[in-house]
Chains A and B, each alone.
Chain A
Amino acid sequence: MISISILLLIIIPLVVAFLIPLLDLYNKLLRRYLVIIGGVIEISISIYIIISYFSDLKAGKFFLTYYLGGWGPPFGINLVMDSVSLIFSSLISFALFFIIIYSIGFIGHHEGKYYVLFFLILGAMQGAILTGDMFNLYVFIELLTVTSAPLVAFKRNKHATEAAIKYMFYGVIGGLFFFVGVILLYFNIGSLNMAQLAQHFAEIENNMQLTIISIFLIGLLIKIGIFPFHFWLPKAHSACPSSLSALLSGVLLKVYLYIFIRLFWIVIGFEFLLEFNIASFLVYLALVSSLFGHVFALQASDIKRMLAFSSIGHIGMILAVFLLNTETGFYGGLLHIISHLLMKTGLFLSTGYLLQYTKSNHIDDFAGVGHQNKGIFVGFILLTLSMIGMPPFIGFFSKWYIIMAFLKIQHHFGAIVVVLGSLSAVFYYLRFIAKGYEKIKLSASDLKNEIYNRPILSVFYREKLVTTVIYIFVGMIILTGFSFRLFELPLQEGIKELINPQNYINLILGG
């Protein structure tokens, strides 16, 4: 079914980003209205898609496509939205809309450029998710790197700039490997369309298949931040303003996971990973990465760094559970992607707000934060409870299904890693919660020092707006926890697609 709405998901953010500098020349205050309008349009398109194609989704034949330039699938670029993309795309619209609202009260300086890059990231994420063309995917991946790197350096101090440099080095190398992979696919098959590549991948000779898989693996593992390549991640995710950390850690990593899934389940086909015995190796790599993420988080004395390490832990877990290639695995993985997106975004946003009261991100400065703003701190605690997997929050249910998936195929190591992960999460979160509730007495000079040494981003205006956004995320984890079956329909459809990629090929090339 050809639908222009999926194109608009990509174009609207780009247009907003292009308009902001022009509008800035005229009147800087109008910018915020434009930004909000852009977010509203984006989220309403997502809602429109869900509502108007709900019957299709129910019938199990949800499939939207768009031919750019009017050129049909194998020869032009086409955009595709199936159930998996629908989940990711609408989640991104949702999360980013609220991060935008949060940013309005949070970002103090250089707002114009911030929003430009922010909307470009939004467009690039939607593009990377919706595109059905391999090279186009590469362009969007690079766009993601180029847009997110300046935002990593947004605070413009030594720490942030170093983080950005590290981020860029890893990002560019990863992108380069991805480029080589795409070119190898093209030289072998002679096409760039994902469906056509998927159709013909089996015909390539064996050694070449392995080479292609290796090159793509390097590129994508760097981007996802799996153990031997995770070094850029904690630094980058902790150096930027919290709204950005929420975006990078909460949302962007999932986009790369999506790309991994799309590539290795639909384009390349998982049976090749099994054939070359790479799958089980990758499962263990991802699990070790997860374990390392949690272990590193234990020692982090910087709260944002701790959260970033915890992201490594969770992403490794999700990747491992996907690589099991079972139905329960997909279900648990997809559910945990949803839950981790909501939890991590919320956590970073609330942390960002709480850090306004402190001099630095260090744990010692975190003392007494819980008394400064009780409401937000309770939200923070609820989010961490979800993170460690307490009912009735959604974290419990996704953890349940992930362990279930591991145990169903008797993969005890994986299940133990997940359990240990959540156990160590209790340790490192409790450390900060206890610190936050510590009573501190400030002398007058301390207080003065405290106030004058606050970071530059200390913006207390629009407190209500920021608080509301955080509570929306808290509400979401509770709501989805009670009714995580709401996602049953798209999740089941998505699982069907991942198990049977032939369907995707037929829909694009045959329809």
Chain B
Amino acid sequence: MLHHLVFTVLFLLGLYTVIYKNNLIKMVIGLNIMEIAVFFWVIAVSDTGKSVPIYHLNKFAASFNDPVPQALTLTGIIIGASTTALLLTFIIELNKFADTIDSNKLEGLNE
């Protein structure tokens, strides 16, 4: 239950930041908070208190946590990093043209 709560709070915090902050960089940060909330939640839910899914050389543990969500999260993180990099690039570029990263001052974002 706790991880659901944390997920909800983080996710909505991120969503709020994306929607109601005017600074584009902060909006990207909000996006990242959302992503991280999801990743955290996936890992937390899949953690059933068992061992890390790696066979040690000598002792073969009896039970592992589910490795699949971890693999999926890894993929998700990398994709998230790529999109963040791309977004930041656009913001750098936009700053060059408009001299601002305030979404309020960028009329073009509204249309």
Binding site for B on A (CB under 8 A): 135, 139, 142, 145-146, 149-150, 153, 156-159, 161-166, 168-169, 171-173, 175-176, 179-180, 182-183, 186-187, 192, 235
> Is A150 touching B86 in the complex (CB atoms < 8 A)?
yes
> Is B82 touching A162 in the complex (CB atoms < 8 A)?
no
A168 vs B79: C-alpha distance when bound (angstroms): 13
Given contact pairs A139-B79, A159-B108, A165-B24, A173 touches B93 in the complex (Cβ within 8 A): no
**What are 6 A-to-B residue pairs whose CB atoms are below 8 Å?**
A161-B93, A162-B94, A164-B90, A176-B38, A179-B76, A187-B46
Chain B contact surface mostly:
helix
> Is B75 touching A139 in the complex (CB atoms < 8 A)?
yes
> Is B90 touching A186 in the complex (CB atoms < 8 A)?
no
> Is B18 touching A169 in the complex (CB atoms < 8 A)?
yes
Return the chain B residue nearest A136 by Cβ.
B75
> Is A183 touching B72 in the complex (CB atoms < 8 A)?
yes
CB proximity of A184 to chain B, nearest CB, Å: 10
Return the chain B residue nearest A158 by Cβ.
B97
Residues of A within 8 A of B86 (CB): 146, 149-150, 168
CB proximity of A286 to chain B, nearest CB, Å: 23
> Is A187 touching B90 in the complex (CB atoms < 8 A)?
no
Binding site for A on B (CB under 8 A): 18, 24, 27, 31, 34-35, 38, 42, 45-46, 68-69, 72, 75-76, 79, 82-83, 86-87, 90-91, 93-94, 97-98, 106, 108-109, 111
CB proximity of A303 to chain B, nearest CB, Å: 15
Cross-chain contact of B98 among A158, A179, A180 (Cβ < 8 A): A158
A135 vs B87: C-alpha distance when bound (angstroms): 23
> Is B35 touching A176 in the complex (CB atoms < 8 A)?
yes
Residues of B within 8 A of A135 (CB): 72, 75
A145 vs B83: C-alpha distance when bound (angstroms): 8
Cross-chain contact of B42 among A142, A169, A183, A235 (Cβ < 8 A): A183
Given contact pairs A165-B109, A179-B76, A173 touches B34 in the complex (Cβ within 8 A): yes
Given contact pairs A150-B86, A183-B42, A165 touches B79 in the complex (Cβ within 8 A): no
Given contact pairs A139-B75, A156-B93, A146 touches B109 in the complex (Cβ within 8 A): no
A162 vs B111: C-alpha distance when bound (angstroms): 10
> Is A161 touching B97 in the complex (CB atoms < 8 A)?
yes
> Is B108 touching A142 in the complex (CB atoms < 8 A)?
no
A163 vs B94: C-alpha distance when bound (angstroms): 10
Question: What would 11 more interface pairs be, CB under 8 Å, given A158-B94, A165-B90, A173-B18?
Answer: A135-B72, A161-B93, A162-B106, A164-B90, A165-B24, A168-B90, A169-B31, A176-B34, A180-B38, A187-B69, A235-B108
Residues of A within 8 A of B94 (CB): 158, 161-162, 165
Residues of A within 8 A of B90 (CB): 149, 153, 161, 164-165, 168
CB proximity of B62 to chain A, nearest CB, Å: 20
Residues of A within 8 A of B68 (CB): 186, 192
Residues of A within 8 A of B27 (CB): 169
Residue from A135, A164, A169, A175 having most chain B Cβ neighbours under 10 A = A169
CB proximity of B18 to chain A, nearest CB, Å: 7
Residues of A within 8 A of B109 (CB): 162, 165-166
A60 vs B88: C-alpha distance when bound (angstroms): 50
Residues of B within 8 A of A159 (CB): 108
> Is B82 touching A146 in the complex (CB atoms < 8 A)?
yes
Residues of A within 8 A of B79 (CB): 139, 142, 146, 175
A86 vs B58: C-alpha distance when bound (angstroms): 50
A135 vs B76: C-alpha distance when bound (angstroms): 10
CB proximity of B54 to chain A, nearest CB, Å: 20
A142 vs B31: C-alpha distance when bound (angstroms): 15
Given contact pairs A162-B106, A165-B24, A173-B18, A142 touches B45 in the complex (Cβ within 8 A): no
